Structure 1
Amino acid sequence: MYEHLLSKEALKLREEVRELVAWVPRQTILDMDADKIQFPKEFLREAGRRNLMGCRYPKQWGGRGLDWVSTCMTMEEVGTLGYIFACTFGVGAELVCDAIIQHGTDEQKAKYVRPLLAGEIFAAECLTEPRGGSDFFGTSTVAVDQGDHYLVSGQKRFIVGGEGADYFLVYARTDHDPKAHPHKALTCLIVDRGPGVKVEYLYGLMGCRGGGAARLVFKDAVAPKSNVVGQINNAYAVFNTMMVPERLGTAAMTIGAARPALEVATGYTTRRKAFGQVIAQFQGVSFQVAEAAMLLDACRAIAYTTASAVDKGVRPDVVRRLVSQTKKFITESCQKVAHNAMQVMGGIGYTNVFPVERIFRDLRLASIWTGSNEVMSMIIAHQWYKEYFERKAARDHENDAAEAGAPDEKIYE
């Protein structure tokens, strides 16, 4: 449980989010998983109407002026509807808005943030390309300077909200000198849906359906210079700050998406009988439920600790490690939660009589998107070694061994 970490205002917000969750029709969940709904506009409109999106942003732009701890709570609760609900909720309100709030102009905030948080328009982030996922600096999308505007051409892949969004946050190459340093060659642009923007392909996904995941083709799409987010040729600064909401938000909503699997499995094991007794009385079953409950609580512990670190302004490189650890640990742990839930339910858990199979499919995305978990491990390792050399321990623990000074034994080359 995590109530003790929430302010009175956040606890009140949680009840409001739970009311939104209760409002969503069952048929909407089923229709999204069946791809009958390609993008949940009605859900996002209702979330906006209730002022539930972007709770940590300033009130003047449509937020509530709360913190990252409150945001994690919100994302977890929204995630209980299904992973894709939190994906679409978060991509616009927690990613695109974050970039504009942190790096954009007041005019951009008024035009793009305020109406999005009100549920009046929708947004998507365009990062991944057909020739590269984690290779952000290898982008081949280009923006050609035309004086007062850019013409954007290229392709972006796996874009949640590609079908449904009204505008896109696009990373494109603006310095076309082959010798230009990749960190200083890209620009972040807001591109409105219109001429030159085409949904080329809608993906058939294993899970997380109904989010409008598409391949977008930009062909001379117009982006006014006033739509540059941050500075020209400095998209890296935007990308760097975006990794916090992208990965921490993903982690928090994964907890919520896994939670119903454990709840359904727990209820099932208290009713299902075998060998004359309910199966919850068998350790082979109850221990798997216990492990899943433990993992969810551990996930909350790391999520809310990291959220608190972000709120308290812990130095960025340490936050980057904490966020990466949080994303990796939670996404892998929650996949284990869903696995245990299906395992204790047996064959019926593998059918669509219960929602566990959908949750299991949905959660497989969690360790792939917003930076694969292998990339998270790379970041964690790099930063941990850096911190190791910076640290000054209270004592040299290496010497706390009986033969620590043995001659010719500590050989490193």
Structure 2
Amino acid sequence: MFDFLLTEEQLKLREAARDLVKWVPRKMILDMDADKITFPKEFLQEAAGRGLFGCRYPKQWGGQEMDWVTSCMLMQEVGTLGYIFACTFGIGSELVCDAIILHGTDGQKEKYVKPLIKGELFAAECLTEPRGGSDFFGTTTTAVDKGDYFLLNGQKRFIVGAEGADYFLVYARTDPDAEPHKALTCFIVDRSEGVDTKYLYGLMGCRGGGAGRVVFKDVRVPKENIIGKLHGAYSVFNTMMIPERLGTAAMTIGAASPALDVATSYSSRRKAFGQVINQFQGVSFQVAEAAMLLDAARSMVYMTARAVDAGSEQNLIRRMVSETKKFVTESCQKVAHNAMQVMGGIGYTNVYPIERISRDLRLASIWTGTNEVMSVIAASEWYREYAKIRAARLPRDYEADSVASDEVEEKIYE
């Protein structure tokens, strides 16, 4: 699908991703969902060995110097295995790497990015805390300056990859008296003395990704492990929202696609009332709607990816990424809903994977910023954008294009 958007080089990489998808044993998928595998290290090493990690990054650090369209394509393909596969794939090779590549030093890139892209190290991002996730500035984890190092204390939760990570990207409060935008710092924290991880959540779906609680107790973090500037975590966080939210949208498409595949196959064979059920509009229209939603979701993801690649204005990208994350995740949840509805009772069992897909996809509209937060951002950026459009003058005064537009006494605004 959408092959015309991809170059020959991208199509070749897509085939490598599809070969990875074929390689994954059925037992691995089932064991992860059953929490028999708590972190898919073997899968991540295989993906890295096939050259699928870090496609957007400079070759100097092990990447392939490609673009966001390529990243989205890879996330979509990996996501077909299940949402958690794409989550763990993206956390390290896209998310943590992005922070270090964009804001880190060459020494940090050499020490942490290159081995991660090779599959020799694994990483996790630590943002969410027990008191809340979307409230970034409410972080209570602290890092106190002790001269040669910072002393880190606090805890993070729901951290995907916590169980298998060799190092963590951690946001902590370094200036308790500063205004929120200048109070936090981003650190690279090695798994060392004082770092404790617990795989303890009874997750509804997306199991087997090492999601856990990370507790930091008097952890010494060297000053050379600051990413970006001291008290400058906000700048890191802003750039991270692109891989977090655009990546989430792309992987959600992949995770939802098998639901449409299974429902289409089922409805093409299942008979009721003397005919194949795809002959009934009540069935075929739901399948058609699911296909339409996936096509619309792909269109939105790739358009947004192109906007990011083109270096579009930051407020526009912020709005587009937020809209994309919200629209795509909700559309894909509707795809899974339609698939189960088409299949009826059997879709509600574990005879088919629809129930697992539905459980997994529920996470999509919650993590990396809830969809309600996406609406807040989209609304804010749209009104700001509209003010600029008005200031620059619209192509015409659309409000005047009505019969009674001159009835000014009827236009009451206060």
- Shorter-chain TM-score: what band? over 0.9
Moved more, 220-229 or 300-309: 220-229
Q: CA deviation at 1:327?
A: 0.2
Residue in structure 2 matched with residue 108 of structure 1 by the alignment: 108
2:317 aligns to what SS in structure 1?
A: helix
1:378 pairs with 2:376: yes
Question: Structure 2 matches for 1:233-248, cutoff 5 A?
Answer: 233-248=231-246
Counterpart among 295, 298, 301 of residue 296 in structure 2: 298
Counterpart residue identity of residue 161, structure 1: G
1:87 pairs with 2:69: no
CA contact (8 A) 2:160 2:212 kept: yes
What is the CA–CA distance in structure 2 between the aligned matches of 1:209 and 1:274, rounded to whole Å?
Answer: 36
Provide Cα deviations, 1:296-336, integer angstroms capped at 9, x if missing partner: 00000000000000000001111000000000000000000
Provide Cα deviations, 1:74-121, integer angstroms capped at 9, x if missing partner: 000000000000000001111100000000001101111111111111
Moved more, 298-307 or 220-229: 220-229
Q: Give the unaligned 5+ runs of structure 2.
A: none
What is the CA–CA distance in structure 1 between the aligned matches of 2:161 and 2:218, rounded to whole Å?
Answer: 21
Provide Cα deviations, 1:275-301, integer angstroms capped at 9, x if missing partner: 111111111000000000000000000
Counterpart residue identity of residue 15, structure 2: E
Q: CA deviation at 1:201?
A: 5.1
Residue in structure 1 matched with residue 406 of structure 2 by the alignment: 405
Residue in structure 2 matched with residue 213 of structure 1 by the alignment: 211
2:409 aligns to what SS in structure 1?
A: coil
Q: CA deviation at 1:200?
A: 4.0
1:166 pairs with 2:169: no
Residue in structure 2 matched with residue 202 of structure 1 by the alignment: 200
Q: CA deviation at 1:151?
A: 1.1
What is the CA–CA distance in structure 1 between the aligned matches of 2:330 and 2:198, rounded to whole Å?
Answer: 32
Counterpart among 343, 351, 354 of residue 353 in structure 1: 351
Provide Cα deviations, 1:352-407, integer angstroms capped at 9, x if missing partner: 00001000000000000000000000000000001111003100000001110114
Question: Structure 2 matches for 1:264-343, cutoff 5 A?
Answer: 264-343=262-341
Provide Cα deviations, 1:238-273, integer angstroms capped at 9, x if missing partner: 000000010000000000000000001100011111
CA contact (8 A) 1:202 1:212 kept: no
Moved more, 284-293 or 215-224: 215-224
What is the CA–CA distance in structure 2 between the aligned matches of 1:162 and 1:44, rounded to whole Å?
Answer: 14
What is the CA–CA distance in structure 1 between the aligned matches of 2:71 and 2:408, rounded to whole Å?
Answer: 56
Are residues 183 and 407 of structure 1, via their aligned partners in 2, closer, same or farther at CA, if it must alter by over 3 Å?
closer
1:404 aligns to what SS in structure 2?
A: coil
Are residues 326 and 407 of structure 1, via their aligned partners in 2, closer, same or farther at CA, if it must alter by over 3 Å?
closer
CA RMSD of aligned residues (A): 0.7
Provide Cα deviations, 1:152-193, integer angstroms capped at 9, x if missing partner: 10010100011111100000011133xx11110110000001
What is the CA–CA distance in structure 2 between the aligned matches of 1:137 and 1:408, rounded to whole Å?
Answer: 46
What is the CA–CA distance in structure 1 between the aligned matches of 2:59 and 2:136, rounded to whole Å?
Answer: 32
CA contact (8 A) 1:82 1:257 kept: yes
Counterpart residue identity of residue 207, structure 2: R
Count of aligned residue pairs for this structure pair: 411
Counterpart residue identity of residue 97, structure 1: C
Are residues 244 and 264 of structure 1, via their aligned partners in 2, closer, same or farther at CA, if it must alter by over 3 Å?
same
Are residues 169 and 267 of structure 1, via their aligned partners in 2, closer, same or farther at CA, if it must alter by over 3 Å?
same
2:205 aligns to what SS in structure 1?
A: coil
2:66 aligns to what SS in structure 1?
A: coil
Question: Structure 2 matches for 1:30-41, cutoff 5 A?
Answer: 30-41=30-41
Are residues 407 and 184 of structure 1, via their aligned partners in 2, closer, same or farther at CA, if it must alter by over 3 Å?
closer
Residue in structure 1 matched with residue 152 of structure 2 by the alignment: 152
Are residues 407 and 92 of structure 1, via their aligned partners in 2, closer, same or farther at CA, if it must alter by over 3 Å?
closer
Residue in structure 1 matched with residue 143 of structure 2 by the alignment: 143
Provide runs of 4+ in structure 1 moved above 6 Å.
none
What is the CA–CA distance in structure 1 between the aligned matches of 2:398 and 2:295, rounded to whole Å?
Answer: 32
What is the CA–CA distance in structure 1 between the aligned matches of 2:221 and 2:46, rounded to whole Å?
Answer: 30
2:158 aligns to what SS in structure 1?
A: strand
Counterpart residue identity of residue 404, structure 2: E
What is the CA–CA distance in structure 2 between the aligned matches of 1:202 and 1:92, rounded to whole Å?
Answer: 21
TM-score of the superposed pair, with normalisation by structure 1? 0.99
Q: Give the unaligned 5+ runs of structure 1.
A: none
1:70 aligns to what SS in structure 2?
A: helix
Residue in structure 1 matched with residue 182 of structure 2 by the alignment: 184
Residue in structure 2 matched with residue 263 of structure 1 by the alignment: 261
Counterpart residue identity of residue 17, structure 2: V
What is the CA–CA distance in structure 1 between the aligned matches of 2:199 and 2:258, rounded to whole Å?
Answer: 32
Residue in structure 2 matched with residue 131 of structure 1 by the alignment: 131
Counterpart residue identity of residue 395, structure 2: A
Moved more, 192-201 or 225-234: 192-201
TM-score of the superposed pair, with normalisation by structure 2? 0.98
What is the CA–CA distance in structure 1 between the aligned matches of 2:276 and 2:54, rounded to whole Å?
Answer: 44
1:295 aligns to what SS in structure 2?
A: helix
2:268 aligns to what SS in structure 1?
A: helix
